[in-house]
């Protein structure tokens, strides 16, 4: 995967790009001649420009200008980051546990969302901090209220799969104004929860993208 995040080109690299734009395909030797430099001197610059995606190279033909802007290169990179590369372990509870036990579980696991499953381990609901907070307001006996009374139920659950793009999941989190999505696998019985994607996972993915160096 080629990654570019606002690469700052030096003057010589800018000159190389201009030469290739105007004369491509062109060999490295010809580029060097036009700049009155040796091929060895240009080799690092050509490697950087090629790996970064500004140039394409073909053996015995030469260098081509890729025609892609930094924004287009960033888009290309985002289209190669998948959920499976950054998903984390889900915190799953049974639909029969009490609201009190769910609050304790959320605190102990330090998560903002619990995924609720039935006896067959099929996803049936989602519990957020807001759900539990609303349930705790008042004089209800939280230890006697099952979570399936207050959870968000299917089919009103936003999900993703491990093959989804992280950028698409990020859009879902923003559009739905939620903190986490279950990563699911479809089975004959329903959806099995195999992971989770949170805003923290999204942040880690984009920071890793920005940290890529050449």
CATH number at residue 29: 1.10.10.10
Q: Percentage helix, strand, coil, to 5, in the chain?
A: 45, 20, 35
My answer on whether 185 and 140 are in the same domain is yes
Task: Indicate the number of domains in the chain.
Answer: 2
pTM over 0.85: no
Show pLDDT as tens, one digit a residue, over the chain (214 residues). Answer: 444 445 678 899 989 989 998 887 889 889 999 999 998 898 888 888 887 778 888 777 788 887 665 556 566 667 778 999 999 999 999 999 999 999 999 999 999 999 999 999 999 999 999 999 888 887 778 999 999 999 999 889 999 999 999 999 999 999 999 999 999 999 999 999 999 999 999 998 888 776 653 3
Q: What pLDDT is recorded for position 208?
A: 78
Question: Same structural domain for residues 129 and 198?
Answer: yes
pLDDT at 71: 58
Q: Tokens 């996803």: give the residue.
A: 123
- What is the C-alpha to C-alpha distance for residues 99 and 144, in angstroms, rounded to an integer? 8
- Residues 107, 79: Cα–Cα separation, whole Å: 35
Per the domain annotation, does 39 fall within a domain?
yes
Query: DSSP E strands: which ranges in the chain?
Result: 55-58, 62-65, 92-94, 113-117, 123-128, 152-153, 180-186, 191-198
Q: What residue numbers bound the domain in which 22 lies?
A: 11-75
Give the residue among 71, 73, 32 at the shortest CA–CA distance from 56: 73
Domain assignment of residue 2, yes or no: no
Is 66 a domain residue?
yes
What integer pLDDT is reported at residue 69 of this predicted model? Answer: 56
Distance of CA 191 to the CA centre of its chain: 22
Domain boundary among 75, 110, 126: 75
The whole-angstrom separation of Cα 160 and Cα 122 is: 15
In a domain, 214, yes or no: no
| 161 preceded by a cis bond (ω within 30 of 0) | no
Q: Are residues 19 and 47 in the same domain?
A: yes
Same domain, 67 and 27: yes
**In a shared domain, residues 93 and 137:** yes
Burial class (CB in 10 A: 0-12, 13-18, 19+), 64: middle
Q: For residue 68, give the H/E element and its range.
A: none
| Max Cα distance, the chain (Å) | 84
**Is residue 39 within 8 Å of 28, Cβ to Cβ?**
yes
- 135 and 117 in one domain? yes
Burial call 88-126: b when 16+ CB within 10 Å, e when fewer:
eebbbbbbebbbbbbbebbeeeebbbbbbbeeeebbbbb
- Report if residue 4 sits inside a domain: no
Same domain assignment for residues 114 and 199: yes
Tell whether 213 is covered by a domain. no
Are 88 and 143 in a shared domain? yes
Identify the bridge partners of residue 88 per DSSP, sorted by sequence position.
196
3 assigned to some structural domain: no
Q: Which residues contact 187 (CB under 8 A, 6 or more apart)?
A: 122
Predicted pLDDT at 214: 35
Nearest residue to 83 via CA among 191, 178, 170, 175: 170
Tell whether 94 and 186 lie within a shared domain. Answer: yes
């Amino acid at each position: 995967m080629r990654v570019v995040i606002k690469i700052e080109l030096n003057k010589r690299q800018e000159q190389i790009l201009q030469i290739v734009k105007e004369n491509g395909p062109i060999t490295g030797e010809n580029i060097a001649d036009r700049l009155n430099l040796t091929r060895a001197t240009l080799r690092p610059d050509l490697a950087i420009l090629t790996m970064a995606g500004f140039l394409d190279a073909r053996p015995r033909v030469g260098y081509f200008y890729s025609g892609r802007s930094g924004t287009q290169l960033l888009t290309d990179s985002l289209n190669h980051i998948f959920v499976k590369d950054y998903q984390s372990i889900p915190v799953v509870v049974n639909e029969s546990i009490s609201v009190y036990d769910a609050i304790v579980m959320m605190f102990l696991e330090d998560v903002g969302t619990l995924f609720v499953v039935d006896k067959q381990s099929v996803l049936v609901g989602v519990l957020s901090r807001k759900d539990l907070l609303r349930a705790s307001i008042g004089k209800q006996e939280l230890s006697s209220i099952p979570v399936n009374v207050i959870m968000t139920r299917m089919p009103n659950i936003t999900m993703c799969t491990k093959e989804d793009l992280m950028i698409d999941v990020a859009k879902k989190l923003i559009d739905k104004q939620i903190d986490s999505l279950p990563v699911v696998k479809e089975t004959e019985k329903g959806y099995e929860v195999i992971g989770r994607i949170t805003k923290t996972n999204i942040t880690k993915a984009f920071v890793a993208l920005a940290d890529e160096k050449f």
